[in-house]
Amino acid sequence: MDFELSEERRILRDTAARLFRERYPIQARHDFAASDDGFSRALWTDFADLGLIGALVPAEMGGLGGAGVDIMVVMEEVGRGLAVEPFLASAVLGAGLLAEAGTAAQQAQIAEVIAGTRLLAFAHGEPDSRYALSEVRTRAREDAGGWILDGRKSVVLNGDTADALIVSARTGGDAADPDGLSLFLVAGDPEGVTRRGYGTVDGGRAAEIDLVGARVSAETCLGTAGTAYPAIERVIGRGVLALCAEALGIMEVCRDTTLDYLRTRTQFGVPLGKFQALQHRMVDMCLEIEQARSATMLAAGKLDAPRAERERTLSAAKNLIGRVGRLVAEDSIQLHGGIAMTWDYALPHYAKRLTMIDHQLGDADHHLERFIAFSKAA
């Protein structure tokens, strides 16, 4: 057992940290978020050049790392920077699915994703699926050597700008059946595919996607039809870890900002930090963040463990991140008071992103139930 980062990963972390510090002030972030793409293509290329995208993808697939620790190191800095670029959508989920399930031809695209020249998004969630991974009602039926897709995908992260969507659809089984799921790599919006893009509360972008008799070729299917569930679960697991690490980076910024505020803001003639009730809440916040970090490290270390142990540890981390995230978002606003209710202050934007992480890939309660289920299996 060893808790230290290797020299290589320390360099990766410092590289990422420097980039965000120098090129990602909060106003730039607001501008990126408000642009048509909802992020900076220029910076995305720079991230690619520095290896931050590649670090999220397994080496054997052309990436530069892809282990749990790599995801943790990069995504923490993404969180600290409050970055709106599609690290999760394109690199962790998109490239991850190609790596896990794609044919050799499809996997060839991973290089472009890592280079930042091709953007992917995972169109999986549906209006009634909430956080259930196998709850897919979108149907794919074979027709004339290709597939016809019908269904609705909801809140597809960066789904508005992706060059290609990876669409999950049911080729067999019933609504919540893990068997019978397939993935399709759909590029260039064929007829019958409509995307409605919009901004999200945390400064990101997403899209609703309608598939009405959308015809795609046989080659778009990732791997063997009907067997996609294990790949989806593994890649969503990597996504969960990525979100946990992003949340950690955010929580540390919230903590540090609040500590600074308590040190410098005076009320009744003394710094706020002199008030014991606020001190104690601050201490509880700090120790819960350390707890959340520990759970995330554990999940990062178990990313390649057998299924039940892996999923159980991931769900434990996402549950704790959800609980601690709420505490940190709410208490850091409360300890600030009014200033944290204003758009022009950076903290509330961190708090909003932190809160929305609980709405991505399963909230605290979802993962609590999942933890219970996988604990029985373990």
Partner 1 sequence: MDMNFSAEESAFRESVRAFLKEDLPHALAAKVRDGKRLDKRDYLTWHAVLNARGWLAWHWPVEHGGTGWTPVQKHIFDEECIAAGAPRIVPFGLNMLGPVLIKFGTEAQKRTYLPRILNDQDWWCQGYSEPGAGSDLASLKTRAVRDGDHYIVNGQKTWTTLGHFADKMFCLVKTDTQVKPQEGISFLLIDMDSPGITVRPIVTLEGEHEINEVFLEDVRVPAANLVGEENKGWTYAKYLLTHERTGIAGVAFSLQSLDHLKQVARDQKSDGRPLAENPLFAARVAQVEIDLMAMATLNLRTLCAAAAGTAPGLESSMLKIKGTMIRQEITDLLRRAIGPYALPFVPEAFDEGYNEAPIGPDYAMPLARQYFNMRKLSIYGGSNEIQRNIVAKQMLRL
Range 320-359, binding partner 1 (CB under 8 A): 320, 326, 330, 333-334, 337-338, 340-344, 348-349, 351-352, 355-356, 358-359
Q: Please say which residue, 31 or 284, places its beta carbon nearer to a second copy.
A: 284
Q: Determine which residue in the list 275, 301, 326, 352 makes contact with a second copy, applying CB under 8 A.
A: 275
* Residue listed under structure tokens 């064929």: 190
279 in contact with a second copy (CB under 8 A): yes
* CB nearer partner 1, residue 69 or residue 113: 69
Total of chain residues touching partner 1, rule CB under 8 A: 93
Contact positions with partner 1 (CB under 8 A) in 62-121: 69
Q: How far is the CB of 278 from a second copy (least distance, A)?
A: 8
Taking Cα atoms as reference points, which of 336, 349, 324, 312 lies closest to residue 247?
324
> Is 219 one of the binding residues for partner 1 (CB under 8 A)?
no
Query: Is 191 a residue that touches partner 1 (CB under 8 A)?
Result: no
Residue type at 145 in one-letter notation: G
Q: Which does 358 bind (CB under 5 to 8 A by kind): partner 1, a second copy, none?
A: partner 1
Q: How far is the CB of 131 from partner 1 (least distance, A)?
A: 6
Closest CA to 241 of 114, 103, 87, 136: 87
275 or 345: CB nearest a second copy = 275
Q: Which residues contact 155 (CB under 8 A, 6 or more apart)?
A: 125, 206, 208
Cβ neighbour number for residue 146 with a 10 Å cutoff: 18
Number of CB atoms found within 10 A of residue 162's CB: 26
Pair 220, 184: CB distance under 8 Å? yes
Those residues whose C-beta lies under 8 Å from the C-beta of residue 216, and which sit 6 or more positions away, are 146, 147, 148, 149, 184, 186, 190
Which 234-263 residues touch partner 1, going by CB under 8 A?
A: 259, 262-263
By CB under 8 A, is residue 365 in contact with partner 1? yes
Q: Please, which of residues 103-142 interact with a second copy by CB under 8 A? A: none
Q: Give the residue with the Cβ less far from a second copy, 18 or 280.
A: 280
Question: Cα torsion for 220, 223, 225, 226, to the nearest 10°?
Answer: -130
Quick check: 280 binds a second copy (CB under 8 A)? yes
Find out whether 223 and 102 touch, Cβ atoms under 8 Å: yes
Residue ranges that bind a second copy, judged by CB under 8 A: 275-277, 279-280
